[in-house]
Amino acid sequence: VVPEYAVAKIDAAAPLDKVCLFGCGFSTGYGAVINTAKVKPGSTCAVFGLGGIGLSVVMGCKAAGASRIIAVDINKDKFAKAKELGATDCINPRDFQKPIQEVLTEMTGQGVDYSFEAIGHADTMIAALASCNMSTGVCVMVGVLDSGSEISIDPTLLLIGRTWKGTALGGWKTRECIPKLVSGYLEKKFNSDLLITHTLPFAKVNEGFELLRAGK
């Protein structure tokens, strides 16, 4: 049983085994770019974490017309998919001796225009904030920290003008927007099917979690 306001009527032609991704993952990452950050054409973006949500952020950055999309993950197996979806650069923090925010600042000269954290770790949230331009950069917190976690940051990261924002479900008003996203999918405005790596019966849900934890 769900509350009536939590139900949205979508196009009957939509394949439920594909558009189920709009219940959270795709909508969250794509909307973080389009609605929360409002990424401008020609801008530079960094995406921390290339799971389903991070890859959806990459798709959103490409759709928004970003000129450079830098994907960051410690699992290099994610890089091919990230590039297929629009990433221009893929970097592994373990390949560098210095903090990843310094690497991104050197790559871009000033820091990125927009950064997105789609992992849910305090250290990567601070790195994402520090990697965007010190006076005009916008960092969006998409990942969810463990319950009860706290973050302590150097206030000078925000003092000069960075903006730090959070997003839930990508800022969509679900009753209106989920049906529109489904229609956009049916019109082939984006291909969220590329996020699907495995399809398992419900009886194998635990195998699904094992694949998730293994980064596959």
Q: Where are the domains of the chain?
A: 14-214
CATH of 14-214, one of 1.10.540.10, 3.40.50.300, 3.40.50.720, 3.90.660.10: 3.40.50.720
Q: Residue 25: its pLDDT value, please?
A: 93
Least confident of 60-64, 83-87, 175-179: 175-179
Q: Residue 186: its pLDDT value, please?
A: 96
Q: Residue 85: its pLDDT value, please?
A: 96
Residue range 147-153: mean pLDDT, rounded: 91
pLDDT of 215 above 90 = no
pLDDT of 174 above 90 = no
Q: Which residue has the tokens 């049906």?
A: 179
Q: Residue 151: its pLDDT value, please?
A: 93
Q: How confident is the model at residue 108 (pLDDT cuts 50, 70, 90)?
A: very high
pLDDT averaged over the chain? 95
Q: How confident is the model at residue 6 (pLDDT cuts 50, 70, 90)?
A: confident
**Residue percentage of the chain with pLDDT more than 70:** 100
Residue range 118-137: mean pLDDT, rounded: 96
Residue range 98-105: mean pLDDT, rounded: 97
Q: Residue 201: its pLDDT value, please?
A: 95
Q: Residue 116: its pLDDT value, please?
A: 98
Per-residue pLDDT tens over the stretch 42-77: 999 999 999 999 999 999 999 999 999 999 999 999
Residue range 16-45: mean pLDDT, rounded: 96
pLDDT of 5 above 90 = no
